[in-house]
Chains A and B, each alone.
Chain A
Amino acid sequence: MGIPEIEDAKCLLCFGYNGADSHPIVARRIVRGRQKGMKIICADPRVTETARISDIHLQLKGGSNLALVNAMANVIWKEGLADEKFIQEHTKGFDEFLKVIENYTPEYAAEISQVPAETIRQAARMYATNKPAMILYGMGVCQFSQAVDVVKGLANLALMTGNFGGPSMGIGPVRGQNNVQGACDMGALPNSYPGYQSVTDPASREKFEKAWGVPLPDKVGCPITHVPYRILQEKEERKRIHAYYIFGEDPAQSDPDLAEVREALDKCDFVIMQDIYMNKTGLHADVILPATAWGENEGVYTCADRGFQRVRKVVEPEGDLKPDWQIIAEISTAMGYPMNYKNTEEIWNELIDLCPSFTGATYEKIEKYGSVQWPCRDKSMEDKGTPYLHKDGIFATKDHKALFYGTDWHPPLEMENEEYPMSLSTVREVGHYSVRTMTGNCRTLRNLEDEPGWVQISPQDCQKLKIQKGELVKVLSKRGYCISRCLPTERVKPGAVYMTYQWWIGSCNELTIAHLDPISNTPEYKYCACRVEKIQDQEWAERHVKEMYNDIRTQMGIQPGKGARS
């Protein structure tokens, strides 16, 4: 599905996705859809902007996603709202799936999710009876240790109602970062070459071996979230990681359980950081390679709906900088594997010929049409790409049938307890991006929100803790603590707090847990146990935060007297 199609759906199930904060321009489509009469069901523990304008808000307890999704499937089946023709013609595994969802009555799911059974029924009916219905999901699904199961659960809903293969239907993950889709497309993944060709498939491997002229490894590589373990705890000598080449990422800010990350970076023999700004990872790097930034180089990004689009040089880089691709090529050449490219288009031409789904997306075509959604297989200008996948219910499996997967719900790993009685979920700040090295250095975005950020907490909890709006508070978990500002809001439920993850002082990843989904290896950022504490001496706290900010700026290379706040 494409982003423009969202507004033409009859019904939208928005699950764990807060477009207003993560993608305002996607949220715009939701708002426009609403104006056109689209029904909205929003599943989110907070009153998000989408929840606010929804027909039904499923304000579930964090960590209960799959129970709710399975219960919706249960209602759709029991009430005869499923598209049996579609199930029969285009899918497999429905009977096994039924056995799993059998137990998920709305009453049972209500106990787990705190959403009334009748509301679950209404939501299931609304979704099943307004076609085309679209599902959008975000990190509120993915950042749990039970993530892939929920994605499959949502796909089950779309399959059993025949909501696949046409415009304004299906299920869409809305990718967070600008080019997270592109990094996946390009095979920056331990299990696949560019174009989602598996490293364990001999035919694919042979193709890339031939193109690159060397034998290639056949074992799946190490996922990024296993790196701390593989540095600190791996027993097998040849599997232990001794060198870490970090390119355009800041694990010392963005990864869970930062204390462990810092220890891993310090114990790793050789850490290379290639980036545009000094950052927290840089404090642990042995070598720093300065690259040109967005706005200073050329290339292609893939947006969330598989659209290839050009990025162009806006200004000339200042300083002794090189584009990322050139740095990598020079290291490779120095190591005896020559890479000679004159520009990004040469690299692009090499890779599209190796990926059947991208072959047709030439620079010329992207220039001409502005945006080309893959699959685009043919170089002729007539092949303009593919707005939505699985056309006419034909799926990308061997027999073209989709498979139902039913799994049981399980709770998050670290539940609230006596010492840490509240749950913490990390969320996004609309005006800041990722680890904030870019937006934190944009004047007006900094004016709108700055350190140490906010902890969103219910007015009831504030009353109990005797804390007020704007007060500095301490937030603690088993793994660490940080200081943040109290933001009482009726948009969150008592017992749960929310923090945005880009602050360096109010750094919530000091608290988060490195507990991973077994398939996607994504950490459970959306759930860990925490405690909020009042700080009696507010004057001290304000001074302390100011000092911390100054320390950070000094560590980041800003000399006293230079730049802001001096």
Chain B
Amino acid sequence: MSIDLQTVKKIASLSRISVTDAEAEAMVPELNNILGWVEQLGEVDVTGVQPMTAVIPNHQRLRDDAVTDGNVRDKVLANAPQAEHGFFAVPKVIE
């Protein structure tokens, strides 16, 4: 299965990465090359095989339902590109 320019642009859009037409065109053969190579997995017989979920057996731990963190607003905002009045600031969103 090969992907075309339109598909590359769609993947870029899903990935939230803006690409120019020239960049998207350059990616078509690159991505096809890689995807063509990984498609060899299709030849492996996986009848009855469960997909791996945990590489080393481990159990999911539960902890007491208690507050263990928080009250660190200024630390959380310390690296924000733009923070105002104790909030993250983003451009106006109008749907």
Partners in one complex: no
- List the interface of chain A (C-beta within 8 A of B): none
B contact set with A: CB distance below 8 Å: none
